[in-house]
Structure 1
Amino acid sequence: MQKSVAVLAAASAAILIAGCSSGDDSDHADHISDSSAPTISETTEAAAAPAPTTAELTQSLALLVDPNVDAATKADTIENGRTRLANLEQMTAALANYGAITFEVDTPSVEGETATAPVTIATTRGATAPTPNTWVLVDGRWKVSDASACQILAMGQAPCV
């Protein structure tokens, strides 16, 4: 992303310099400015979404295994979650009497619109080794990636097909 901004800045500077160095002293009123084009700062701001916190990521995973949360609400926290409604309903039913499930999410690394963090899952039967989970930025919200959701669904007896 920084490379894109640098290229955009260099191109903008070259155009600006070329426009200013014209030997034509005539009125430049005939040059139309495209005010709908984003400025460099607007482009940078739009592309720079805040990184998710470990608390946000932990909450998104805890919501998926909460037997008191309906499948439609869970689906809203997953990338393309509507395609996983049946899996979510099946997992929710399977977890109704399972017991506590907790997640420990380490600090995420963010590349573009994808965040990755090692996650340890603990149940009454023990804890897993940390495994990488991913979240994707969708409409300004960090959602559990479909691949990571499928890992959790498989553990909840509702594998993705």
Structure 2
Amino acid sequence: MATAVAAVAVTVGLTACGSDDKADTAEASTTTSAAATSADHGAHGTETAPTADDLKATLVLVADPTKSTAEKTAVIVNGDKRTANIDQMNQALGAYGTLIFAVTDVKVEGTTATAQVVITSPHGSAPAMPMTWEHVDGKWKLSDAAACTMLGFAQAACTP
């Protein structure tokens, strides 16, 4: 958890102080994602490995201020315990601008997927950080720890 908090602190600092260079944002938006192959399976052999685009879609949904809290809690493991944080994040992101995600190096171990994620805000890019997803109820959902990292960007940090 300390690593996640440190990553959020560094990332928030970098995105707040990053460049406003439109070329940085354009370059990040054109970054291609490395996809895991659909032939890979989890430890039980029944879970289809998510692609980088699958995982990116959850991040895009969580960061979209036009999406409802209910839509967001549905893609987060135990998301119902983060509704107040999500409401706070939606308010903060409403006038902030679009976040762009580059997801690479997807690795699946059993029912957990880990990927490197670069988040680009209107103020610049944060360094790549690992995020995790869990295969729950037949879907790949953003882990609670990764959701808390996202919520921290909007100063809606999770409390224990």
TM-score when scaled to structure 2?
0.71
Once superposed, what is the RMSD of the aligned Cα atoms? 1.6
8 Å contact kept, 2:42–2:109: no
Q: CA deviation at 1:82?
A: 0.3
Partners of 1:131 and 1:45 in 2: CA distance: 23
2:13 corresponds in structure 1 to none
8 Å contact kept, 2:73–2:80: yes
Q: Any stretches of 5+ residues in structure 1 without a counterpart?
A: 1-43
Partners of 2:42 and 2:92 in 1: CA distance: 43
8 Å contact kept, 2:42–2:108: no
2:156 counterpart SS class: coil
Q: CA deviation at 1:154?
A: 0.7
Q: CA deviation at 1:140?
A: 1.3
2:44 corresponds in structure 1 to 47
Partners of 2:131 and 2:42 in 1: CA distance: 26
Partners of 2:54 and 2:105 in 1: CA distance: 11
2:115 corresponds in structure 1 to 117
2:129 corresponds in structure 1 to 131
2:102 corresponds in structure 1 to 104
Partners of 1:46 and 1:94 in 2: CA distance: 39
2:90 corresponds in structure 1 to 92
1:122 counterpart SS class: strand
Partners of 1:140 and 1:132 in 2: CA distance: 22
Partners of 2:68 and 2:87 in 1: CA distance: 8
2:105 counterpart SS class: coil
Structure ID, larger Rg? 1
Which stretches of structure 1, 4 residues or more, deviate above 6 A after TM superposition?
none
8 Å contact kept, 2:43–2:111: no
2:140 corresponds in structure 1 to 142
Partners of 1:159 and 1:148 in 2: CA distance: 11
TM-score when scaled to structure 1?
0.71
Alpha-carbon distance change, 104 to 47 in structure 1, aligned in 2, over 3 angstroms: same
1:69 corresponds in structure 2 to 67
Partners of 1:112 and 1:78 in 2: CA distance: 18
Partners of 2:85 and 2:100 in 1: CA distance: 20
Q: CA deviation at 1:46?
A: 9.0
Residue correspondences, number: 118
Q: Which amino acid aligns with 2:57?
A: Q
Q: CA deviation at 1:107?
A: 3.0
Higher relative contact order (CA 8 A, sep 6+): 2
Q: CA deviation at 1:157?
A: 1.3
